[in-house]
Amino acid sequence: MPESGALDIALIRIAALLESDPVAALRAAQELVREHPGHPAAVMLLGAARRRSGDTHSAAAAFTELASTEPASAAVQLELGRALLAQGKLTEAFGALTRALELAPDLAEAWRELSSLHASRGEWRECDVAYARFSALSGQDGRFGEAAAAIAQERLDHASALLRAELERYPGDVAALRLLAQVAVKREDFAAAQRLLAQCLELAPGYSRARFDLAEMLHTQQRAEPMLPLLERLLALEPANLAYRALKAAALSLLGQSERSLSILADLVVEFPDNPVGWMYYGHALRSAGRTDEAIAAYRKAAELSPGFGEAWFSLANLKVFRFTAADVAAMRAQLARADLADEDRWHLEFSLGNALESAGDFATSFEHYARGNALRRAAVQYDPARTTELIERTRALFTREFFAARAGAGDPSGEPIFVVGLPRAGSTLIEQILASHSQVEGTRELPDIPAFARELGVWDAAPVYPQSVARLGAAELRALGERYLRQTRPHRLLGRAHFIDKMGNNFLDVGLIHLILPNARIIDARRAPLACCFSNFKQHFQSGVWFSYSLEDLGRYYRDYVALMAHFDAVLPGRVLRVNYEDLIANFESEVRRLLDYCGLAFEEQCLRFHETRRVVQTASSEQVRRPLYSASVEEWRNFEPWLGPLKRSLGELAEEGRSR
């Protein structure tokens, strides 16, 4: 073999060793330089091997000498900059990297190193600008097309395997880490997702896509406060970015700053009039503010711009007081006939068409569409009902009378919070609106803090340790958790009232923890008759979290588990939880309102009976219903679908008979 061919093979072999075994690469490079003194490529590899082996001083010296003989080499300047950066010589490193980019403006790796340098100096905007340039040049976020497609198709095990294999080869691959975080979010393993995204941003502080993913994940958890600094940094880089601005509007809305949120979204639909997603978000904000007619117009605009945009149609259906026209029904059917319609659009349209046909009295066809929408959604989510049952059993085993008695006096003594727990579609928004009409009570929303505490304590670990992990918390730790809850929820309290409502229904799973950390907080169980409650959930598509609602069998089992757990707390903490049955509230409104206020230690106020006059932002599916006077039509709606509810009745067992004769 000619000498040049042997040299080329040696150079390739050493370059490959740099990634896997830099010490071996160093030995091989030293030998090659001895054989070919002054050879630029060999000297380059020797310097790179020295840097990767930790000898940054010798590496910088080698690259400095090479730069004098190769002054037009951008690669040499890049390596010199890397070596100087590793030594902490930021000014000299900046000079070398700037020179590299003068010689080769599209040298992606130089932009990445420059981003790291700016981060070391605390120059965050420059850091983000440089990393954005690196991302655009390197195409790093397009390298995992198969994994990204698997995530989109909910083939999460396959995506995870692909990404973990990549990370075994290259542990610092931030694009792979970011996609693995997306897998964790899909599985609702938010703690793992946050760790992965934090690792991304530690390795690449200017990685805006990871920062945006983190903000989106926090939004999924309804943790608005930590979203804002992330979004402000993103907006400093791209102040006109629609997605960043829309997410900031969502964060402000969660914090109760509805006017600021609405203002941002109003600007967006002016600037991006052809963007259907922007119109839909604008509709959501208008709806929450009680501007229903304008919300309808915004949703219709979104559907007009993109007729297959299922979520726009469902946003109309989800208004509850809206009625589709015959033309709307025809338009939705035409979209469902498309073979290329995405699953997410399809299930939204199925739920929407089910709603339209229910309103028209065609209950059989309506149920077919509800069933198809639920089947599509159930296939896309990972929900194991056995895990919920096991959690209920662990909870009942731990929280005994003796357990609570031994911890009497622990927790924060505040009586400010009022928790409204129970299943969705059980009247919790009505209860919240009644209480929020009182001069001493502020309505907030479904606050994520208690479920976050449960996750920290291991509720959804691979080998769950919650609630048994609560047993190791002493009085001081329980009090600290109570104080932390009050501190974290304070930004949502904008009116300065004595009490506030946390309407996170799933907190029924954590009544024991709530009692221990906030022993004087009120806890109200919003209960609705089993068949009515379960079917109302079945025909409601939820954005996230309510994974048990997409199967009649899962719904029946979940309702049974819920009733069993609340009966347990009734037995071990008698009188601690106030149960308010939706049907009783409708039938005996004033007496039930008085009972509710009395339990909360509140004087009766006439305004609570005129709850529909209270002007406030409501962010749930019942927002329009609680702005109208009390009505009883929904109590018996489930009976229109009774011929098809056999699986639900069987799953509910004896509970199926409750509420039938009211």
Task: Return the CA Rg of the chain.
Answer: 30
Tell me, yes or no, whether 334 and 254 share the same domain. Answer: no
Q: For residue 178, which phi and psi values (nearest 5 degrees)?
A: -65, -45
Residue 132 pLDDT class (50, 70, 90 cuts): very high
Tens of pLDDT along 368-423? 999 999 999 998 887 899 999 999 999 999 999 999 999 999 999 999 999 999 99
In a domain, 602, yes or no: yes
Stretch 589-608: mean pLDDT, rounded? 96
Structural domain count, the chain: 3
Stretch 505-530: mean pLDDT, rounded? 97
Tell me, yes or no, whether 225 and 351 share the same domain. Answer: no
How far apart, in Å, do the first and last CA atoms of the chain sit? 95
Residue 200 pLDDT class (50, 70, 90 cuts): very high
Q: 617-638 burial, b if ≥16 CB within 10 A, otherwise e?
A: bbbbbbbbbbbeeeeeebbeeb
Stretch 568-582: mean pLDDT, rounded? 97
In this prediction, residue 627 carries a pLDDT of: 46
In this prediction, residue 45 carries a pLDDT of: 75
In this prediction, residue 256 carries a pLDDT of: 81
CB 216 within 8 A of CB 193: no
Closest among 242, 312, 248, 325 to 284, alpha carbons compared = 312
Residue 312 pLDDT class (50, 70, 90 cuts): very high
Stretch 75-104: mean pLDDT, rounded? 91
Tell me, yes or no, whether 328 and 366 share the same domain. Answer: yes
Domain housing 285: 221-291+298-305
In this prediction, residue 623 carries a pLDDT of: 45
In this prediction, residue 630 carries a pLDDT of: 63
Tens of pLDDT along 602-630? 999 999 999 888 764 554 444 445 445 56
User: How many other C-beta atoms can be found within 10 angstroms of the C-beta atom of residue 589?
Assistant: 14
CB 526 within 8 A of CB 582: yes
In a domain, 144, yes or no: no
Closest among 40, 75, 74, 43 to 61, alpha carbons compared = 43
Q: Which of 319, 349, 380 is the last residue of a domain?
A: 380
Higher pLDDT, 105 or 12: 105
Tell me, yes or no, whether 401 and 313 share the same domain. Answer: no
97, amino acid identity: L
In a domain, 249, yes or no: yes
Q: Which of 380, 404, 420 is the last residue of a domain?
A: 380
In a domain, 342, yes or no: yes
Residue 552 pLDDT class (50, 70, 90 cuts): very high
E runs forming strands in 498-650: 499-502, 522-527, 577-581
Task: List the single range of 65-74, 472-481, 558-567, 605-614 with lowest mean pLDDT.
Answer: 65-74
Inter-CA distances, 298 with 3, 214, 248, 251, 304, Å:
72, 28, 19, 20, 10
In this prediction, residue 258 carries a pLDDT of: 87
In a domain, 44, yes or no: no
Tell me, yes or no, whether 250 and 348 share the same domain. Answer: no
Tell me, yes or no, whether 589 and 525 share the same domain. Answer: yes
Tell me, yes or no, whether 466 and 370 share the same domain. Answer: no
CB 528 within 8 A of CB 581: yes
CATH number at residue 228: 1.25.40.10
Tell me, yes or no, whether 255 and 352 share the same domain. Answer: no
In a domain, 646, yes or no: yes
> At CA 452, angle to CA 450 and CA 453, rounded to 5?
65
Residue 483 pLDDT class (50, 70, 90 cuts): very high
Residue 114 pLDDT class (50, 70, 90 cuts): very high
Q: Which of 338, 357, 380 is the last residue of a domain?
A: 380
Closest among 525, 533, 517 to 481, alpha carbons compared = 517
Tell me, yes or no, whether 501 and 538 share the same domain. Answer: yes
Q: Percent of the chain beyond pLDDT 70?
A: 93
Stretch 282-301: mean pLDDT, rounded? 93
Q: Is 526 helix (H, G, I), strand (E, B) or coil?
A: strand
Closest among 145, 138, 146 to 115, alpha carbons compared = 138
The Cα 248–Cα 264 span in angstroms is: 8
Tens of pLDDT along 248-260? 999 998 888 889 9
In a domain, 314, yes or no: yes
Tell me, yes or no, whether 515 and 597 share the same domain. Answer: yes
Tell me, yes or no, whether 626 and 590 share the same domain. Answer: yes
In a domain, 77, yes or no: no
Q: Percent of the chain beyond pLDDT 90?
A: 69
In this prediction, residue 621 carries a pLDDT of: 45
Q: What is the mean pLDDT of the chain?
A: 90
Stretch 541-552: mean pLDDT, rounded? 88
Tell me, yes or no, whether 529 and 647 share the same domain. Answer: yes
pLDDT higher than threshold 50 for residue 227: yes
Stretch 579-603: mean pLDDT, rounded? 96
In this prediction, residue 1 carries a pLDDT of: 38
* Residue 103: exposure state from Cβ atoms within 10 A (0-12, 13-18, ≥19): middle
CATH number at residue 436: 3.40.50.300
In this prediction, residue 658 carries a pLDDT of: 78
E runs forming strands in 410-496: 417-421, 441-445
